[in-house]
A and B are shown apart, each in its own frame.
Chain A
Amino acid sequence: MSQGVEVVGLYVRDQDEALEFYVDKLGFRKHTDARNGNYRWLTVQHPDQPSFQLGLFKPGPPVHDDGTAQTLEAAVAKGAMPPLVMVVEDCRAAYERMTARGVEFTQEPVDRYGTVDAGFRDPSGNGWKMIQSRR
């Protein structure tokens, strides 16, 4: 058995919208989608990373009171959540592919420090850096 981080979650404004974004636009796979009342545990997985899941969670009851949920949703929508980084083989090719699928890029691919990076946001406002792996 291997030890380590298994799930890291993001806050999203709408789980259906987020699932569509991460699966259809970014190429993740749905891993777990379990409901209990109005609580929904939803995770996706990168096809190359079978030991890690990205959780797509909506702030709200039963975990958060209304005021806290509102604060969290505002923080996400303002782009105030921590940065996320995705590594890709070819940043420009991924940029072209994702742009064609309607991903909202905040920064076009730029050559920097011997690699290429770009930036995009998910529909909720979570910001991603996409960095080309060094060869």
Chain B
Amino acid sequence: MSPIKDPVSAEPATQDPELLRRLLRAKDRMDAASQEEWPVTRLARVSGVSEAHFARSFKQAFGVPPHRYLLTRRVERAIALLRDTELSVTEIAFQTGWNSLGTFGRVFRDITGDSPGAVRVRERAAAHHLGPVPNCIVSAAHRPNLTTAVSEKRRQVPAGIIGSNNEPEAS
């Protein structure tokens, strides 16, 4: 069925629904707690498959390797926190599961094509399109960036995380 065949893969073209259901369980667990560490041993145990088969089966089922999927979910959560909260980029990096701000910035840019600071500005500018989001959240998103202390910004800028076109300090 699949026109592109991985020459090193011995996986069948169609996967057993019972296996897929168990792989979905691992994906659900990553969705529920993407800030946690999800080594293949842990994921394979959730799915009840061997470690050797897990990564390949997961990629075949969901199109991306499990670790890449996890990083994508973490970045999605980080984007939501950038948009909806006043947390600093550093706090968001640690809350979403990164041990290093540098790795967070690199992966974030790799996935979104932009820095966390620039994404924060862009997401907030687009926030008025979100119909179902209650007014209090929308207005919080439009609030001038008064809660980010100057000292905090000074800390963030050398880390190369905040884009140069940052929001004004007060307006």
Interface residues of A (CB under 8 A from B): 13, 67, 70, 73-74, 76-79, 104, 106-108, 113-114, 121, 123-125
Q: How far is the CA of A124 from the CA of B24 in the complex (A)?
A: 11
Question: Given A70-B14, A113-B132, A113-B134, does the pair A78, B20 have CB atoms closer than 8 Å?
Answer: yes
Contact B132 A106 (CB under 8 A): no
A102 to B56, CA, bound (A): 30
Instruction: Report yes or no: B24 in contact with A78, Cβ–Cβ below 8 A.
Output: yes
Asked whether A13 lies within 8 Å of B32 as measured between CB atoms, the reply is no
Question: How many B residues are at the interface, by size bracket?
Answer: 20 to 34
Pairwise interchain contact A77-B28, C-beta atoms closer than 8 A: no
- Extra contacts besides A77-B18, A78-B61, A79-B28 (9): CB < 8 Å: A13-B17, A13-B21, A67-B1, A77-B21, A78-B23, A104-B25, A113-B132, A123-B21, A124-B21
Interface pair A125/B137, CB less than 8 Å apart: no
Does B27 count as interface, using CB distance less than 8 angstroms? yes
By the criterion CB–CB under 8 Å, are A74 and B17 in contact? yes
Tell me if B17 and A76 are in contact (CB < 8 A): yes
Assess whether B133 is in contact with A77, with CB atoms less than 8 Å apart. Answer: no
Residues in B neighbouring A79, C-beta threshold 8 A: 24, 27-28
B15 at interface by CB-CB < 8 Å: yes
Task: List residues of chain A with CB within 8 A of the CB of B14.
Answer: 70, 74
